[in-house]
């Protein structure tokens, strides 16, 4: 269980790196492709373009953090096989990682950073007055689908595959 919580903490840390990268380094890409409210997406299109090398740095950070998340999931699977975990244990391990990440995303990113702190607005005053900063739950349908259907299904598939190895 301790390893599972460590894995969750690493995934949440990497997700934070991704979010900060999307907000501070590659904001146009981040707002367009990773869940900003529509009015903020539109406002972000008007900010000045970053120099090409900043965009390259942002993409490198994004790829590294994403690969880090994949590495944690591989570690979780390999460790589960080496410890000869049961189907239920493997399912619970991945459920804790996936659902823990999603709850962290909803609470820390969507609610605290976007709605309460209005963090992007501090970096990009052009977005001041956007209604998206006050619309916690703007992506509720997508978040709930992941929380209750998509992630548990992925966990079931991973547990089924890894429990027969």
Please give the pLDDT value at position 122: 87
Environment class of residue 164 by beta-carbon count within 10 Å: exposed (0-12), middle (13-18) or buried (19+)?
A: exposed
Average pLDDT, the chain: 92
21 vs 120: CA distance, rounded Å: 12
How far is the CA of 156 from the CAs of 31, 51, 81, 87, 135, in angstroms?
31, 44, 15, 9, 33
Spatial CB neighbours of 8, under 8 Å, sequence gap ≥ 6: 96, 97, 100, 101
Kindly report the CA angle at 65 between 13 and 102, in degrees rounded to 5? 50
62 vs 22: CA distance, rounded Å: 8
User: Percentage of the chain with pLDDT > 90?
Assistant: 62
Q: For residue range 20-38, what is the model confidence (pLDDT) as tens digits?
A: 999 999 998 888 887 788 8
Residue 25: Cβ within 10 Å count? 19
Please give the pLDDT value at position 132: 80
Q: For residue range 32-88, what is the model confidence (pLDDT) as tens digits?
A: 887 788 888 888 888 888 999 999 999 999 999 999 999 999 999 999 999 999 999
Please give the pLDDT value at position 51: 94
Please give the pLDDT value at position 45: 85
How many whole angstroms from its chain centre is CA 43? 22
For 45, phi then psi, to 5°, come to: -65, -25
Q: For residue range 94-145, what is the model confidence (pLDDT) as tens digits?
A: 999 999 999 999 999 888 988 889 888 888 888 888 888 887 777 788 889 9
């Amino acid at each position: 269980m301790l390893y599972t919580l460590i894995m969750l903490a690493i995934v949440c840390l990497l997700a934070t790196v991704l979010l900060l990268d999307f907000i501070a380094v590659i904001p146009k890409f981040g707002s367009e492709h990773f869940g900003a409210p529509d009015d903020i997406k539109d406002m972000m299109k008007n900010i000045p373009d970053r120099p090409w090398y900043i965009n390259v740095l942002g993409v490198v950070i994004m790829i590294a953090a994403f690969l880090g998340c994949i590495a944690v999931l591989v570690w979780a699977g390999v460790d589960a096989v080496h410890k000869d975990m049961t189907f239920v244990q493997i399912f619970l391990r991945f459920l804790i990682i996936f659902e823990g990440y999603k709850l962290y995303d909803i609470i820390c990113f969507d609610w605290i950073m976007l709605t309460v702190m209005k963090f992007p607005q501090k970096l990009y005053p052009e977005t001041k007055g956007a209604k998206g900063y006050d619309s916690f739950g703007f992506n509720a349908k997508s978040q709930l689908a992941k929380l209750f259907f998509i992630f548990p299904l992925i966990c079931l598939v991973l547990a089924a595959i890894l429990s027969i190895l």
